[in-house]
Amino acid sequence: MEKITVDATIENLQNVIDFAAEQLENRDCPMKTSMQLQLVIEEIFVNISSYAYHPEIGPATFCMEFEENPTAVLMTFIDGGKPYNPLEKEDPDTTLDIDERDIGGLGIFLVKKNVDEISYEYADGKNILHMKRFF
Q: What is the pTM for the complete model shown?
A: 0.91
The pLDDT of 43-55, averaged and rounded, is 96
pLDDT tens digits, one per residue of 75-100: 999 999 999 999 997 776 666 666 66
pLDDT, position 105: 60
CA distance 32 to 131: 17
Q: Which domains does the chain have, with CATH numbers?
A: 2-134 (3.30.565.10)
Long-range contacts of residues 19-26, Cβ cutoff 8 Å, at least 24 apart: 19/62, 20/62, 20/64, 20/75, 23/64, 23/66, 23/73, 24/73
pLDDT, position 79: 98
CA distance 84 to 126: 10
pLDDT, position 102: 62
The pLDDT of 109-118, averaged and rounded, is 96
CA distance 109 to 125: 25
